[in-house]
Amino acid sequence: MDLQALSDKLEIQEALARYARAVDDKDWALWKTVFTPDAHIDYRSAGGSVGGRDEIANWLRDSLEHFSMTQHYITNIEIELDGDEARVIALFYNPMIYPGATGLSYCGGRYHHRFVRTPEGWKSRNLREENQWFVKAPGDAKEQ
């Protein structure tokens, strides 16, 4: 791996870390910096929304406003570079407390990103969340 590829991969990994921190801090301005303005984001596999960057930022703000806690771990990051584009698959693990719940819920799966090199650095142009499992999903959370 040459120095440019190493630098590109580190920058993409930092963008993923910024994504997790932004969601957990509910910092939607920071969250937007991970994406291109025309990004397409799909959270349907977790019962969420699909749409453009700004639309999804508003949906996340409204959806997560009342969660007392979320924490996103992003691991096992695979990055396939192809010039100014990159395909990224990363695992996520997300413990959270739903509004009105007294205990933790958990979910995990994969993030599928398409990153592009921009003048401002690497940005995700496309994110599809693939939720693979859920423990104490929203309908079950109040029964804890």
DSSP per residue over 5-44, as a string? HHHHHHHHHHHHHHHHHHHHHT-HHHHHTTEEEEEEEE-G
Report domain extents, the chain.
Answer: 3-141
Q: Give residue-wise pLDDT tens across range 59-74.
A: 999 999 999 999 999 9
- pTM of the shown model: 0.92
CATH of domain 3-141: 3.10.450.50
Indicate the residue type of 143: E
Angle at alpha carbon of residue 73, lines to 93 and 41, rounded to 5°: 80
Place 141 in a pLDDT band, splitting at 50, 70 and 90.
very low
Report how far residue 43's alpha carbon sits from residue 22's, in angstroms, rounded to the nearest whole number: 16
